[in-house]
Every structure is written in C-alpha cells, then in structure tokens.
C-alpha cells in the first residue's frame, strides 16, 4: 500500500470487501484522503480511523462486511462504514451496528476527509439515508452526465478545474498496491431489471465515463507500472449508450491497447444479450486485448431466464461462444450461474447441465439462490425448497469443478502468454490471457529466464495442471518491463 509523504498524526486504514469496482472506489477515497492530509496505513494497526468499504451484494458478502466492521471496532480505532452495504442500508445498518462510528453513503465521498476528521473529533454524523439511486438520474441516458450525482470511481480531477481539458487533469486515484494489474472503471450503475438483483437500486442508473477520462486514467496507471488493465462496470456492454455511440467500447479497446507500457487489456462483466458481433470480433482479434469473455449467463434454461427478466437460451449462448472461438480458438470464457431460482424445475436444471457440458468454460461460479431485499424475485411464491436448492447447488458445483478441470487439461501442449505477477521462494506465478485476476486460477512457470521480472509478459508452453491452475515452461520474454 502507498503511504503518504506528509504524516499529520491522522492515520487511516482502508479495508476493501467485494468486487473490483469497490477496489477502484477505495483508491478514489485514498486519493481524496491523501489530498486532505491523511496518512494512509496498510491495516488497522495504529490507525486512528478504519474505513471499511463494504459489499452488499448477497447474504454472505453482507456477513463478511459485518464481521470486518466488528473486528475493526475491536482494534480500538474509530470505525466508518462506506461502500455498497452502507449505501444500501444506511440508517438501518447504523441502528443495528452501534460499533460503527459513522455510516457514510456515496454522496459523502467528495467530503470524506472532513467527515473522518469529524468522526475523529467525536462528532456525530447523521447516517446515510438510503434511497433508490436510479431516481436521482434522468430516465434518458444521454441526459445523465449533467446531473449532479456522485459516481464513485469515475476519477474526476482534484481539484476540479473546468478550464483544463479532461485528458490533462490529475487522476483522482491513489493505488493501494504496486502490482502490475489494475482495474479501471468504464461506467457505473445498470439499467437492467433482473428479478434477483438489487444492485441498480443502490448503484443507480447506468452512466458511462468518457473515452478521454478512461484513456487518461489508463496512461496514469501505465506510468505507475501497471501492465494489464481490467475494465470493470456493472454492465460493460452498455458502455457508450449514454454517449450516443453504442459501438463506443469497440472503438475504445484498440486505443487502450495502444497505451504505452500496457501489454494486456481485459474486459469484464459482459451481458450476453447485448454482446454484439462487432464487440466479439474486437475482443477476439485486437492485439493486446485479451480474447476473454466474461459473460453473465446466470442460467441457460429459457424459461428460468424469462422469469429472471433476462434473455437467451442454451443454444443461443452456445452460438455466442462458438462465434468467439471461431475467431480465437483458445479464447477464455467464464460465467456465473444461479441455481434454485423460484420456479426452477428438474428439466431446467438438466438444461443448465447440458449447457455447462457443451460450453467448455474456463471458470464457473455457482450461487445458490436466496431472496434479496427489494427485488422482484423476493416476492415470487413458487420458491424451491432450501433442501432442494442445496442439493442442486452441490450437484452443479461438482459438475462445474469437473468441467473446469477438464478445460484446463485441454490446454496441455498449447502456448500461453503469461503476465508475471509474483516471484518469490522459487515460485514464479502469473496469469494467461484466459485467466482473470482473483477468480480464474493462475499459471506457474516451471523455470525462470535470464532477467525475468514481475510485469514481464512471457510466452510459455503448458506442461501440467493442478485443478484450474496451469504449469507452463517459459520459452521467451515477449515484452519486458521497462523496454523502450
């Protein structure tokens, strides 16, 4: 973690839970706090204030957030809850968790330094009052950027200077690690109305960042040693619809890939129903763009998908994957699936099994359905019994593990381009183009190469597997860190 160079006696630790989008938000908070004179420390030890950037997505994530807040309180520091759970529950969270000295929503972020100073001084801050953030923005997407609504992780300049072109403004971000991979936020919010998902209500309606903002942040990240950029959002396939250009992502990807120092650009959070042929081609064929498809399928039974307020079917999804692999045979693909959704039948589960068996996905996440506050599905009456949900979850999870292990075995003998992320204790570890950070496994190099360093891109041949992880023999350094 970076530490400020102007210690003031006000020490703050940022603890981040949940997804990569939250990580970007935490780095915005770090930049704001640094600018306001706070001394950033890597953990709660010795901190005056601990800020917990919570996750409010599913029940387990909420429990993890509560446990982290309680552990932070035990340190003796002041504790502040921010992030999705704080935004979603606000006053309710504050009332049920007196151990938190403040519960702050997204609208508090621009004044985060002042709010923490007040907490440290013992002042009482009114807890965030939750509201549906979709109602804060115009219905028409092209009108949203002018609305005065806080959008975490959008990297506005600090201080804001309207006279300076956006691409020349200081990026409002301070990295909290020094690794060669970083997420970059494309957009915030979501306009979809999936029956099981509460995210749009607390993240708001969809708003894209401009290409100029994104490219400026990519250059800033590259200058800080980043080699791979992972584009994140709630729905990357909607990028540009509020900018008047539905093909904006197709145009942006080659520009990002051309950023000096960047060797890989990865797109995440693609909606299958919105993934157009032109975008598939751009991802599959553009140099330095990972041929990697993180597709939010959620299920493959057409009947279940309709009840989820989604679109698609087993055959449509298989055709989408086929079109990608026709352009890039070794393309990576991953997805998440929900089992036990209300009304799901045995035939629906069998259809999901058919899809998984034929899809050849590199990584599969399986979730057992549970009601989420404020969602349409929470009011459905034809719930699957908890015992049946558990059986189906165990069954699909076992199948997913078997299939992903087989997919890794299929890569034996192939060549992969490995971005080296760590070297230590005789172990060299990185990831291939089909492996996203944190969620998709990794590749261990079986030997070193002269001068090999973290951040190098290495061509290697796959010689073994360990579950979804690969072992590969290095052949050559394709792109070395610091190469002119």
Question: Which residues are annotated as part of the binding site for [4Fe-4S] cluster?
Answer: 19, 55, 84, 190, 194, 197
Q: Look up residue 44 and give its two tokens.
A: 């709660």
Residues for the chain: how many in total? 484
Give the residue numbers of the binding site: 19, 55, 84, 190, 194, 197
- Residues contacting residue 165 through CB under 8 Å, at least 6 positions apart: 212
Instruction: Work out the burial of residue 316: count CB atoms within 10 Å of its CB; fewer than 13 is exposed, 13-18 middle, 19 or more buried.
Output: middle
Q: Which residue has the tokens 């950023």?
A: 259
Question: Listing from the earlier edge strand, what are the strands of the sheet with 49-54?
Answer: 39-41, 11-16, 49-54, 78-82, 102-103
Inter-residue long-range contacts of 65-72, CB under 8 Å, 24+ positions, other chains counted: 65/17, 66/97, 68/15, 68/17, 69/97, 69/99, 69/100, 70/97, 70/99, 71/44, 72/15, 72/44
Strands 181-185 and 187-188: unpaired
Triad 21, 81, 23: Cα angle to 5°: 20
CA 244 to chain centre: 25
Query: From the CB of residue 226, how many other CB atoms can be counted at a distance below 10 Å?
Result: 24
Kindly state the tokens that stand for 135.
């109602």
- CA atoms of 402 and 458, how far apart (whole Å): 28
Starting at the edge strand found earlier in the chain, the sheet holding 292-294 runs 292-294, 332-339, 363-368
- Cα–Cα distance for residue pair 25/153, rounded to 1 Å: 5
* Cβ contact 215:251 at 8 Å: no
């Amino acid at each position: 973690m970076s530490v400020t160079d102007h210690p003031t006696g006000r020490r703050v630790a940022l603890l981040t839970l949940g997804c990569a989008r939250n990580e970007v938000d935490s780095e915005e908070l770090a930049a704001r706090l640094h600018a306001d004179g706070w001394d950033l420390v890597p953990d709660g030890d010795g901190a005056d204030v601990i800020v917990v950037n919570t996750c409010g997505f599913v029940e387990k994530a909420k429990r993890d957030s509560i446990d982290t807040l309680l552990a932070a309180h035990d340190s003796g520091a002041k504790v502040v809850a921010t992030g999705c759970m704080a935004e979603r529950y606000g006053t309710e969270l504050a009332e049920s968790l007196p151990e938190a000295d403040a519960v702050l929503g997204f609208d508090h972020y621009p004044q985060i330094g002042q709010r923490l100073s007040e907490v440290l001084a013992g002042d009482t801050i009114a807890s965030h009052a939750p509201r549906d953030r979709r109602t804060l923005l115009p219905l028409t997407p092209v009108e949203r950027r002018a609305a005065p609504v806080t959008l975490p992780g959008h990297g506005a300049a600090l201080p804001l200077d309207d006279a300076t072109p956006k691409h020349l403004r200081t990026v409002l971000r301070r990295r909290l690690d020094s690794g060669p991979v970083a997420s970059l936020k494309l957009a915030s919010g979501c306009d979809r109305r999936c029956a099981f998902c509460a995210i749009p209500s607390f993240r708001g309606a969809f708003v894209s960042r401009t290409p100029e903002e994104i490219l400026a942040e990519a250059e800033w990240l590259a200058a800080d040693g980043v080699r791979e950029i992972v584009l994140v959002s709630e729905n990357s396939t909607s990028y540009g619809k509020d900018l008047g250009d539905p093909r904006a992502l197709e145009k942006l990807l080659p520009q990002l890939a051309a950023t000096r120092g960047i060797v890989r650009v990865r797109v995440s959070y693609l909606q299958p129903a919105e993934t157009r042929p032109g975008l598939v081609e751009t991802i599959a064929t553009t140099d330095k763009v990972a041929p990697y498809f993180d597709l939010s399928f959620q299920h493959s039974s057409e009947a279940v998908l309709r009840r989820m307020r989604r679109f698609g079917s087993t055959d449509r999804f298989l055709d989408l994957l086929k079109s990608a692999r026709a352009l890039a045979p070794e393309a990576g693909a991953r997805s998440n699936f929900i089992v036990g959704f209300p009304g799901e039948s045995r035939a629906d589960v069998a259809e999901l099994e058919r899809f998984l068996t034929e899809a050849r996905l590199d990584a599969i996440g399986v979730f057992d359905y549970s009601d989420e506050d404020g969602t349409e599905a929470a009011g459905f009456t034809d719930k699957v019994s908890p015992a049946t949900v558990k059986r189906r979850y165990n069954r699909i999870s076992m199948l997913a593990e078997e299939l992903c292990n087989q997919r890794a075995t299929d890569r034996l003998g192939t060549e992969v381009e490995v971005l080296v992320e760590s070297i230590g204790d005789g172990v060299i570890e990185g990831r291939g183009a089909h492996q996203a950070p944190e969620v998709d496994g990794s590749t261990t190099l079986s030997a070193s190469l002269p001068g090999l360093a973290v951040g190098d891109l290495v061509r290697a041949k796959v010689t073994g597997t360990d579950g979804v992880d690969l072992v590969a023999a290095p052949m050559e350094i394709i792109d070395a860190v610091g190469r002119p």
